[in-house]
Structure formats: C-alpha cells, structure tokens
A and B are shown apart, each in its own frame.
Chain A
Amino acid sequence: MQKSLHIDPGKCTGCLQCEMACSYENTGLFNPATSRIKVFDFHHEGRKVPYTCTQCAEAWCLNACPVEAIKIDAGTGAKVVVDAICVGCKVCTIACPFGTINYNHGSGKVQKCDLCGGDPACASACPTSAITYIDADWTGLERMRQWAQKTDSAARV
C-alpha cells in the first residue's frame, strides 16, 4: 500500500510542531526556516494551512532535473533529492507548479519532502491530526464519510 501525507487545514492551530519536527529530522536543529513543510497563516481569515510536496506520480521536478538528482524511493514513492548529485541549479524549483521544492543556500542544494523514509516526522508531531500519513488511494475517505453522514437522510427519519 502506498501512503501519502494528508493535510486537513481545518484542524491546524499554527503551532509549527511540524516545522520543528521536519527540521530536526533532517538537520538535527529546531529550525522552521529549513523545514520542508510550511504552515501559512491567513490571519484575517483565521485560517492556517500546512503545505508541502504531494509527491506527484509524474513529477515535474524529477523530469526537469538535468543531472537526474531526483530519484523515486521504491518503498514510499517519494521523490527524493540525492544531495551528492544535485548541483543546485534550481531548475526544479521553476518546474514545480506548487513551489514545494526549494533551494537551501546553506547546503547549496535543493530540498523537498522525502516522507522521512516512510515515517513522516511532521505527522507524528502534529497535535491535532491536521497532518496524517494514510493510504494514498483514500486521502478523501474521511471527507467522503462526513458528507455521507450528512446525506443519509433516510436513517434520520
């Protein structure tokens, strides 16, 4: 079973535990500045939205890379940047429609979510289950269930 990150912005409180978990997993530091998942605060609407790579099946970043530095993790399906090959040209950052692969001037390479090898630290750290790691084929299942409940009018009569 392929799994993917599932984000429910309605549950996000904006605490940034996910950003800290991500940076700690990847750099050993608590550093939201280097996190591969970002929480955006649309303050005047009262909304917080975590956002990161969705691991496209046919990945623009992977196809655009001139040195084939982005590989597919056979276990998780994640598109993973191989630092040893990446030359920091940033073409992938132009190709990605969602902006979720980013240049890190500290390393001189690009970085993106790699699903932590199958145990994403952001999902483990999230206190409200706004970020979960679930069956990729059924990321909409919970939303379907909620709508199903609303439309089950016969049972309520």
Chain B
Amino acid sequence: MAWTRKVLRVNLTQGSCVSEPLNMAWAAQYLGQRGLASKYLVSEIDPLVDPLAAENKIIYATGPLTGTMASTGGRYSVVTKGPLTGVIACSNSGGFFGAELKAAGWDMIIVEGKSPRPVYLHIENDKAVLLAAEDLWGRTVWDTEGTLKKRHQDPLLRVSSIGRAGENQVLFAAIVNDLHRAAGRSGVGAVMGSKNLKAIAVRGTLGVGNIADPKSFMAAVAAGKKVLAENAVTGQGLPTYGTQVLMNVINEMGASPTRNHRDVQFEGARKISAEAMHEKRTTDGKTHLVTNQACFGCTIACGRISRIDETHFSVETKPQYWGASGGLEYEAAWALGNANGVDDLEALQYANLVCNEDGMDPISFGATVGAVMELYELGILTRDDIGLEAPFGSAEALCRLAEMTARGEGFGKVVGLGSKRLCTRYGRPDLSMTVKGQEFPAYDGRALQGMGLAYATSNRGACHLRGYMVSSEVFGIPVKTDPRETAGKPELLKAFQDATAAVDSSGLCVFTTFAWTMNDIQPQIQSACEGDWSLESLLQTGERIWNLERDFNLAAGITGKDDTLPPRLLNEPCKTGASKGMVAELGKMLPEYYSLRGWTPDGVPTAATRARLGL
C-alpha cells in the first residue's frame, strides 16, 4: 500500500481540520504527490480562479515512497494554481518535512479558504489544529522555525513556512522547510500568504509502513542505493560538487544565459563555480563550502552547506548570517550570478541566504534582477526609479534588491511582480526572459535545442525539471544527442516529461535519474504499492498527469500560442560557444511534439488521447 490513505482537509475560513480517506481509485491512476495532488486540485477548483483568492486551494502532498528507506524518498510537492503564471503550479521540495508529514499519518494536506487572521497549522500525528500566528507574521522563515520549535518544546518539529516574501505576495515567493529546502517555483508561497497561513509544523511518530511486499522492497531499495553509489554523477560528482558541478560545464559549451540572455557565456563563471567554493579565501583562509548535506533518506547528498565570508560588505555587520547555511546550488548561483553578470561568490551567497530566510525563488528573483539591469542599462529604468544604481555586474545592487524584494520595500515591490509584469510595465515585454510568466533557469534554449522545446511546453512555465533534456544533450543520459540538432528531440522530450511526472509522483527525487532509469525505479514502486505499477503503467501514469495538467492550463485560458519563447531566443543568435549563430528552432519541433502527444495542431489533447488515458 505505502499510502497512509488519509487526507487532512483544512478549511481556513471555517477554522476546521478534518480527516478524510484518500481516494484510492485516483491513487491507482495518479500514484501520489504531483499527480494525485493535481487530480485533487483540478477536481476541486475553477481553473479561472484568481490564484490569490480564497477560492484557490493549496495542496501539500507526499508520494507513496516518501518516508520510506528508498533513497531520496523524502520529497513532497505543493500544488496550487500559480500566481506568477496563472497555470498549474507544482513545486517539489526535499529536506525532512515531507517524510515527517507521512510519519504523522497523512498522505496530503488540502488547504482551502482564507483565514481571517494569521494562523499556523500544528500537526502531531492524528491531531491537527490551527493556532494563532499574529506574533509570527512579519517574521522570517528561520525565525518562524526556531520560534515554533521552542514554543512546542520539540527540537524535532519539522516546519514548512513562508517568510516576508510570501506575506507580501511576492509573485515568486517560495515555501521553505528545514531552513533552506524549498518548494521554490511559481509563487506557491504567495498563495500561502494570501490565505494568512504562515506555517505548517508537523511531528510524526507513527512511522511509515504498509509496504505491499517488504522483502522485495528492501531488496529493490538496496539495489537502487548500489546503483547510485557506483554512478560517477550521483556517487562522486554531486556529493563532492553539488549541482554546481554544472557551472563550468554549461558555461564552457556556451549554454549559460548571461546578462538577461544577451550572452551565452559568462566570463566570471569560474569565480562562482563549484571549484571556487572549494578554494580557500584570501580573507580568512577558509573555504566557502563547509560540507555536503543529504535530504531525508538520500544517499546522494548533493546539498551544499556553506559559510559566508564575515568580512564581505553584505554581512560584515550582520552576525546572524555568519553560521553555516544552505547554498549555493547551481540554479541559484546562475540566476543570482550569470543572469545579471555578478561574479562575487559571497554576494551571491548573501542574496541566496535572503531568499532562503524570507522565502523567495532565487531563480525568478535573480532573473528578474537581470531584466532590471538591462532596463537600467538601456536608460528605461533610472536611479530614481530603483533607488540605486543597477548596472550589470553590480553585487551591491543584487544584495540590496534581494532585501528590498523580500521585505516589500520601495522598488522591491516591482521586482516582486516578476520579470514579465515588470518588463511590461516599462514598455519592453520582449525583454522578459520567461515562458508563461515564469523565468528561465540556467540553460540556454538556443544552445540546447531540446531545452528550448522543454521550456516552451512545460506545464508550469519555464522550468528545467519538467523534462531535463540537459541529461541527453550534455551528459548523454540515457543517450547522447547533439544539442544543436532538433531532429528526434520532440520524441525524447515527451519520454522525459512522462517519466519525470511519474518520478515526481512517487516521493523520489528526480536527481536519481542521473543514475537510475525507470528500470531501477519501477521495482521500488511496485514492491511498495499495491496494484499494477509495471513500467508501462508508470509511463502511462506520467503521460496521464501531463495531459491532466495541460487540460487544466487550457481551461485556465492558456493556449498553444503560449507554448513559445521570448523573441530574443527566437531571433537573436548565440554570440559565442558551440552553438554560435543559432537561435531556438522551436517551429521545427513544436508541431511534431503536438502530434506525438496526440494533440491537435493547436495543442489541445484530442478526444482519442483523453479516452486512451482515461481522462
């Protein structure tokens, strides 16, 4: 079984917490986490709802393998209609919160309505109550976690909360658990803020059981751990260098979007790379990196724990930042660094700490700063507008804008709208490096043609985690493809998207797929869960989830016309690197992609496709 078969339904308007049985018919079709929570969401809300209205709902969902010994089995997802994009938002987080929720006996929490005053949800196994949070409002994630652990006299309490960014409804506000693991993207934190829900604090001592075939499960888990340990990426690269192992690799091939995608290579990349994090600083003789850290159950341990330089201008008077803390991961380093031309590692870490502390997505924040800096260099935004000088490369501007955005001060309120709304406000929507309103992550869609298609078709706006074509186009996993080539990419992307949707619904981390194929994952799911979880069934589940999300987005008013890329990627070629002279050839791939998906030329699933998938 693996599911606890229990859903906690919290109505903030009424102040009620009610247990209800998990819909097992849906679990058989959607597995858990991303898929199952999406099924609940689309069944319960109007697709046209204002994401920040009381009528929107927000779901925190574990997968069947969450809280088990399966390596990386600690994930949970937050699913809601996203305020940044207006499409379905599904943000996945690690750390320890998800497993704790499962150990408390819950597969998911569905939160609906809006509380008249700030509250937090306290869960101790089967007891769930809403408690006053007026005193927590206006405080950071870090402060909130510490305060709740003291208040409940429980250092093992796991907390998922919003900081001031979520309260201020920064449209890319994140939900942060365990100090620095985040359901980061699409503004899920703003939805939590709109509902006056400050935090969820959970303690679970019931444990996770109900494994369908324990003996087979333990064997499959051990085999999976062995594969991860013996793989060069998951066994050595990620533990040693973290995701930052990508910084130099992606930059050297000319696939690193730089200065709001004006360039594809950043001359300062080496200074902010994984290798730089291992070097001793001249100021204090210490390395930036302190250690690596695992999320719950993870035998890869890619997480970075770093210590900022106490003499750096950003923190020299702020000892609260001097201890070891999370960062930098590659996407954050890129967005805070390359995207706005800043090569000061300590400044990036400071901005990253602010993002963690107050709950902001560093990708969207950093990329929006990139747009601000381009508008500043074009003279469209001035010092008077912003309150400071903001040329590309300014570490001071980056650090100050992070504080202003998180706290809702001055121009920070405009940054908090995200790049699309900001660029539109200043008359240059073409300069917003977004798809469906969400900022690009750290790979250029011109240099990696498959990633261009992945961005255009992602169901949550620009995102690398919906179909990580980088695997194939850069690392040759599972097959090496030419990043400049468009042929074959639609088919490969569809396979990636469907498999990823299944993994995201299981409780496992998608980073395992650097080493694991579905052949490694399937036995773990099948032995844990009752029902048919054959390879075919899992991939069809993934495809079903993809189409379910697509249908919701279509009903929310997004169409095939939104499956596109900014004009810069379609018209301005890469200036340097292996893909010099290339633009994103989306037109060569999109029709074939729609056709392979069983969608009309306008990008709508056909009746036959819906029937085949049981939608």
> A residues bordering B, Cβ < 8 Å?
13-17, 20-21, 23-24, 27-34, 43-48, 125, 127-128
**Set of chain A residues within 8 Å of B324, measured between Cβ atoms:** 43-46
B305 touches A46 (CB 8 A): yes
> B residues bordering A, Cβ < 8 Å?
67-69, 71, 96, 99, 103, 156, 179, 204-209, 214, 218, 225, 228-229, 239, 290-299, 301, 305, 307, 323-325
Q: Which residue of B lies closest to A124 (CB)?
A: B222
Q: Which of B208, B239, B299, B301 contacts A30 (CB 8 A)?
A: B208
**Set of chain A residues within 8 Å of B298, measured between Cβ atoms:** 13, 15
B69 touches A17 (CB 8 A): yes
Q: Which of B204, B225, B301, B323 contacts A33 (CB 8 A)?
A: B204
Q: Which of A27, A30, A44, A45 contacts B68 (CB 8 A)?
A: A30
Q: Which of B214, B225, B293, B307 contacts A28 (CB 8 A)?
A: B214
B68 touches A127 (CB 8 A): no
Which residue, A15, A27, A43, A125, has most C-beta atoms of chain B within 10 A?
A15
B209 touches A28 (CB 8 A): yes
Given A14-B294, A45-B323, do A33 and B103 touch, yes or no (CB 8 Å)?
yes
**Set of chain B residues within 8 Å of A27, measured between Cβ atoms:** 207
Interface of B is mostly: loop
A54 to chain B, nearest CB (A): 23
A44 touches B325 (CB 8 A): yes
B240 to chain A, nearest CB (A): 12
A15 touches B207 (CB 8 A): no
CA distance A127 to B298 in the complex (A): 9
B103 touches A20 (CB 8 A): no
CA distance A27 to B325 in the complex (A): 34
Q: Pick 10 A–B contacts, CB within 8 A, sort by A.
A: A16-B96, A17-B299, A20-B69, A30-B68, A31-B103, A43-B323, A43-B324, A46-B307, A127-B71, A127-B229
Given A29-B209, A44-B323, A45-B324, do A16 and B204 touch, yes or no (CB 8 Å)?
no
**Set of chain A residues within 8 Å of B214, measured between Cβ atoms:** 28
**Set of chain B residues within 8 Å of A24, measured between Cβ atoms:** 69, 218
In the A-B complex, list the 5 residue pairs whose CB atoms are closest, starting with the nearest.
A31-B207, A44-B323, A29-B207, A46-B290, A15-B294
Q: Which residue of B lies closest to A10 (CB)?
A: B291
A15 touches B291 (CB 8 A): no
Q: Which of B68, B69, B293 contacts A48 (CB 8 A)?
A: B293
**Set of chain B residues within 8 Å of A13, measured between Cβ atoms:** 239, 292-294, 298, 301
**Set of chain B residues within 8 Å of A44, measured between Cβ atoms:** 323-325
**Set of chain A residues within 8 Å of B206, measured between Cβ atoms:** 29, 31
Q: Which residue of A lies closest to B67 (CB)?
A: A30
CA distance A30 to B62 in the complex (A): 15
CA distance A128 to B218 in the complex (A): 19
A15 touches B69 (CB 8 A): no
B225 to chain A, nearest CB (A): 6
**Set of chain B residues within 8 Å of A34, measured between Cβ atoms:** 205, 207
